[in-house]
Structure 1
Amino acid sequence: MDVRTQMLEAAEKLLDASPDRDIATRAVCEAVGVGAPVLYRLFGDKNGLLSAVVDYGFDRYLATKRAAEPSEDPVVDLRNGWDTHIAFARAHPAVYRLMFSPSFAQVPAAAQEAMRLLQDVLVRCAAVGKLRVAPDIAAQAIMSANIGVALSLVTQPDTYTDPGLSDRVRDALHDSLLVDTEHSGSNKEPGVSTAALQLLALLRTERSPLGEPETALLIHWLDELGRSS
């Protein structure tokens, strides 16, 4: 492991152990056995170090997402994606808090990639007729809820003590967004919007027999129908 990675992992361990969620650059240097000039050369200052810790956290988070092999059932993949998100937050609580901090002046590009990966799974759900709302709308609901639950668990563990909380929120949300889910007892039958979203997803992933103008017009109307729910 190179010195830079050692310092990032040392910073994460110190953050996890810190009661006030803060660290001293001197402690990071001592943990790795290097002098302060090394830290300044690699990161510039403490803010640069913490920014690099966030990037390192997102690198590992996205690695789990990119490595996930799609199954034959996108709904299962969607559930697993929620669970791996929560598992990452529990395993890296201090870094997770930094990764999804509201104090960012600009949202990290890695966070936007995470949203795109979620949308890809939701497009697959739409393609098999399982999605009630447009993939981008569903992605916003799922990501915000996933982050909210994860932050609650890692920042207020003494308050959020229910071991089934994550599963309960996940299943309730998926029930509202998906058709005929495993945990649903009252889902309505798929309607026009679900059918429109299914055909829209297929048109965007497969070659259309229509000409380009006709396909563009069809996509426009299907998008309108899909958002009418």
Structure 2
Amino acid sequence: MRTRADTSPGSTPEGGGRELTRRRVVEAAAGLLAREGREAVTTRAVAAAAGVQPPAIYRHFDDMDGLLDAVAEHGYTRFIETKRAVPTPDDPVDDLRAGWDLAVEFGLANPALYAMLYGEPRRGTDSPAHRAGMEMLHGRIRRIAAAGRLRVDEPLAAAIIHATARGAVLTWLSLPEDGRDPALLTAMRESMVTAVTTDEPAVQDPGPAGAARALRAALPQQSTLSEAEQHLLGEWLDRLAADV
């Protein structure tokens, strides 16, 4: 005996119809979240919005947490598609600013989704879209590092960028509308840029040869490596510095 979900318009009993039903349920839940907030996303409300019987939801998701994880993935995917559609600035620090602005704008435009994503930090963090977003962020950071303008190591830079973007969005959303000054967002973005980048390249000559020469010059002043390690690293740096 078929359920209403099996016989809804555009569906088939095959895998394609099942996927369409799943997508409809996720989009219905995402719509309820956006319009009415987290508490509105109930089994009964989602089923009514998606045009399926409530039991149909649990043929696609183990429980409501599973559905909310799918909504998080849906939101991340939309965000990544937006980021990919924006041209990449030539300057890597300007690219960082643009990416930060996009993340903040997405949060401000989707407050309920953002609160769910970052008020429950574990939700969706192992999803394909989230991993794609992290790869894009690390790509931006590597561009800055390759230009010799990264002030801190890459993991710390990523943490600072995330923390300032999340803090900016959640702080903005917590303020009364008449207390929301756009200067707050600009100040937080520029504080982030100052914390993770330098105004001038640490190494003037582009490429590994220039970086190797700079590190080779600083090597005698460090005490972390043993004498044998310093000697071996010195040989490697000499070979890189000569590769011009």
Q: Which residue identity lines up with residue 69 of structure 2 in the other structure? A: S
The equivalent residue for 2:203 is 195
Deviations 1:80-125 (A, max 9, x none): 1011101111222212222223462884244444333212112111
- The corresponding residue for 2:150 is 131
- Share of identical aligned residues, percent? 34
Say if 2:133 is the partner of 1:114: yes
**How far off is 1:199 after superposition?**
5.5
How high is the TM-score relative to the length of structure 2? 0.67
In 2, are the aligned partners of 1:58 and 1:99 still within 8 Å (CA)?
A: no
Look up the match of 1:207: none
Higher RCO (C-alpha under 8 Å, 6+ residues apart): 1
Superposition pairs of residues 1-229 of structure 1, within 5 angstroms: 2-18=20-36, 21-102=39-120, 104=122, 107-109=125-127, 110-154=129-173, 156-158=174-176, 161-180=180-199, 194-195=202-203, 217=233
Bigger radius of gyration: 2
Instruction: Assess, with a 3 A threshold, how the Cα gap between structure 1 residues 132 and 217 changes in structure 2: closer, same or farther.
Output: same
- Aligned-residue offset at 1:30: 1.0
Kindly provide the amino acid, as one letter, of the partner of residue 135 in structure 2: R
How many correspondences in the alignment? Answer: 197
AA matched with 1:13 = G
C-alpha separation in 1, matches of 2:86 and 2:180: 29
Q: CA RMSD in A?
A: 3.4
Rounded Cα–Cα distance in structure 1 between residues aligned with 2:51 and 2:38:
24
5+ residue gaps, structure 1, are 181-188, 204-215, 222-229
Q: Partners of 1:92 and 1:85 in 2: how far apart?
A: 11
| Structure 2 gaps, min length 5 | 1-9, 11-19, 212-231, 238-244
Give distance in 2, aligned partners of 1:141 and 1:63. Answer: 23
CA contact (8 A) 2:69 2:123 kept: no
1:142: how far off? Answer: 1.0
What SS is found at the alignment partner of 1:41?
Answer: coil
Q: TM-score, normalised by structure 1?
A: 0.71
